[in-house]
């Protein structure tokens, strides 16, 4: 089967049945998740997808179009429809306040958004990743770095050139291939082809968490590759209250690939489920486009988060006391 063709194929869920078609190929599935019936969602594991269609990709879902109550992907509580915004249904957990959509698209799950420039060339952004990786390395003496969902920013190459122990991960097959060819087979991989027994001290997820649809698989994976002294960090927009629609054009949650709208409460609840703690910070210039005179005003709800083990509680709380706004001034 042609991998490129399938990347943009839409699956069809046959209601009431147990078959799915992708590109006209119909195969039987088994329900891999308990939530399927409750949510009216069909969730398919990447392993299953690979076994049937020979494609190694993130799990995808075909959603019901009905605006019925869903169940929270963090705590399982009932999550009523909160708002219809950007022609999408947004649900909010009544308990942990996690906000999510149910219209995840297969195409959006297979190509990251850090796609300025060609896959073989340099992408935009990357400074936040660089700042976080080098900051944690310096402050906590941590070494092995994973750039998770790094796209084609230049950060991977920059850190390599500066002698850091860094590996990369992304969902885009073309990018993985290009990086492997240049830096070796062990340097860059997809979320479902992690080398066995990988462990990382610093896992950087800049503008990644808003893409997580299958939360359990994504966080299980991150925590499984986090070393005993490891820290997960990154950036995403935190829901500031009020309407989902924001003043930017296009709005943050209008992007089809953005399916999770976090807050310090909901992300903290998720961290707690894994025995981890969360602290979030602002940054001096949260905008995402340079040069842009609006740069300092864009995305006032952009946050830098650290998800860490109890041993770092003092470090991060002290940091928050002295530097609640981190000196990150580039995207
Ligand atoms: Zn919840």
Q: What residues sit around ligand 1, an ion, with C-beta below 5 angstroms?
A: 72, 74-75, 77, 93, 95-96, 98
Q: Which of 1-15, 41-55, 63-77, 241-255 has the highest mean pLDDT?
A: 241-255
Residue that wins the pLDDT comparison between 32 and 82: 82
Q: How far is the CA of 112 from the centre of ligand 1 (A)?
A: 26
Q: Could you give phi then psi for residue 132, rounded to 5 degrees?
A: -65, -45
Provide the 8-state DSSP code for 244. S
- Report the mean per-residue pLDDT for the chain: 77
- Eight-class DSSP state of 251: -
* 202 CA to centre of ligand 1 in angstroms: 27
Inter-axis angle of helices 264-273 and 215-224, to 10 degrees?
60
Examine the pLDDT at 193 and tell me if it is beyond 90.
no
- Fold that domain 112-240+269-326 belongs to in CATH: Rossmann fold (3.40.50)
What would the mean pLDDT of 304-310 be, rounded to a whole number? 97
What pLDDT sits at residue 243? 95
Residue 32: pLDDT over 70:
no
Strands (E), 214-319: 226-237, 260-261, 277-283, 302-308
pLDDT on residue 281: 96
Q: Pick from 192-206, 218-232, 278-292 the range whose average pLDDT is largest.
A: 218-232
Which 3-state string (H, E, C) describes 111-134? CCCCCCCCCCCCCCCCHHHHHHHH
Contact 85, 243 (CB under 8 A): yes
Map out the domains of the chain as residue ranges: 1-62, 112-240+269-326
> How many A from CA of 265 to the centre of ligand 1?
10
Output the CA 78–ligand 1 centroid distance in Å: 8
C-alpha to C-alpha distance for 69 and 181, rounded to whole angstroms:
46
For residue 81, report the distance from its CA to the centre of ligand 1, in Å: 13
How far is 326 from 114, CA to CA, in rounded Å?
22
């Amino acid at each position: 089967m042609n991998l490129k063709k399938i990347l943009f194929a839409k699956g069809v869920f046959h209601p009431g049945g147990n078959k799915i078609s992708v590109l006209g190929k119909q195969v039987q599935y088994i329900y891999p998740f308990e939530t399927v019936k409750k949510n009216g969602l069909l969730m398919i594991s990447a392993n299953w997808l690979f076994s049937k269609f020979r494609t190694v990709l993130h799990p995808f879902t075909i959603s019901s179009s009905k605006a019925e109550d869903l169940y929270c992907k963090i705590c399982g509580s009932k999550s009523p429809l909160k708002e219809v915004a950007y022609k999408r249904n947004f649900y909010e957990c009544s308990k942990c306040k996690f906000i999510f959509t149910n219209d995840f698209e297969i195409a959006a799950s297979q190509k990251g958004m850090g796609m300025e420039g060609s896959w073989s060339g340099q992408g935009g952004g990357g400074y936040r990743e660089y700042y976080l990786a080098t900051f944690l390395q310096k402050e906590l003496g941590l070494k092995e770095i994973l750039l998770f969902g790094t796209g084609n920013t230049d950060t991977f190459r920059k850190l390599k050139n500066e002698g850091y122990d860094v590996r990369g991960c992304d969902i885009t097959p073309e990018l993985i291939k290009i990086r492997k060819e240049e830096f070796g087979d062990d340097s860059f991989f997809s979320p479902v082809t992690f080398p066995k027994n990988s462990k990382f001290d610093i896992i950087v997820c800049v503008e990644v968490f808003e893409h997580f649809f299958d939360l359990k698989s994504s966080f299980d994976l991150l925590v499984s590759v986090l070393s005993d002294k490891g820290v997960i960090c990154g950036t995403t927009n935190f829901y500031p209250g009020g309407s989902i629609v924001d003043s930017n054009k296009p709005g943050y949650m209008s992007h089809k690939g953005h399916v999770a709208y976090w807050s310090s409460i909901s992300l903290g609840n998720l961290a707690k489920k894994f025995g981890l703690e969360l602290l979030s910070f602002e940054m001096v210039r949260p905008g995402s486009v340079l040069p842009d005179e609006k740069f300092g005003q864009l995305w006032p709800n952009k946050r830098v988060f650290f998800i860490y083990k109890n041993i770092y509680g003092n470090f991060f709380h002290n940091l928050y006391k002295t530097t609640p706004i981190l000196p990150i001034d580039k995207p």
